């Protein structure tokens, strides 16, 4: 499995409770949140819908970005989500290929080619990155 640093936002529902996180295995981490396998914020507030994520080449960059987004006000986070996901659809099926949680965590990226395909598909194949800064 290829490690891929990712910043992500999950929600309890459209315009609901938001959670921002960072991981090197997005599918596994979202699987943990969705299945309530980890005690904490997402379990307590029912935050199970992946609504936004951003790929990074280095974990350091992802951590800096996560901290930046966590400092943002709610309106900026909503604007970020709605730029790429105006319907607040759950991105889990796009990530895993199905809507099932399964008993084992899926692997997000087997190869760098998988990363490129997913990144391209979720960006709408337009070649534009997520360089928007709302500060």
- Note the pLDDT of residue 97: 77
Q: Which residues contact 35 (CB under 8 A, 6 or more apart)?
A: 101
**Going from the N-terminus, what domains does the chain have, and what CATH number goes with each?**
6-122 (3.40.1440)
Q: How far is CA 54 from CA 15, 37, 109, in A?
A: 19, 23, 14
For residue 65, give both structure tokens.
Answer: 């970005």
Q: Which residue has the tokens 């607040």?
A: 88
Cα distances from 13 to residues 76, 82, 86, 128, 129, in angstroms, run: 17, 13, 13, 27, 25
Question: By three-state DSSP, how is residue 127 classified?
Answer: coil
Closest C-alpha to 78, from 102, 52, 114: 52
Extract the tokens encoding 84: 């790429």
Burial 39-61 (b: 16+ CB within 10 A, else e): eeebeeeebbbbbbbbbbeeeee
Instruction: Please tell me the predicted confidence (pLDDT) of residue 131.
Output: 42
Instruction: Supply the pTM of this predicted model.
Output: 0.76
Q: What is the pLDDT of residues 51-108, one digit of tens each?
A: 999 999 999 999 999 999 999 999 999 999 999 999 999 998 888 876 666 555 555 5
Report pLDDT for 38: 86
Question: Rounded to whole angstroms, how far apart are CA atoms 100 and 60?
Answer: 31
């Amino acid at each position: 499995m290829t490690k891929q640093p990712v910043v992500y936002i999950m929600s309890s529902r459209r315009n609901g409770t938001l959670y921002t996180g960072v991981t090197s295995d997005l599918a596994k981490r979202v699987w943990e949140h969705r299945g309530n396998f980890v005690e904490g914020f997402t379990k307590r507030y029912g935050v199970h819908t992946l609504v936004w994520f951003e790929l990074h080449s280095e974990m350091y960059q992802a951590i800096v970005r996560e901290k930046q987004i966590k400092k943002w006000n709610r309106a900026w986070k909503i604007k970020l989500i709605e730029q790429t996901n105006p319907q607040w659809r759950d991105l889990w099926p796009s990530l895993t290929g199905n809507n099932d949680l399964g008993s084992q965590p899926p692997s997000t990226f087997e190869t760098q080619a998988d990363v490129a395909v997913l990144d391209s598909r979720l960006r709408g194949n337009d070649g534009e990155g997520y360089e928007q800064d709302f500060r």
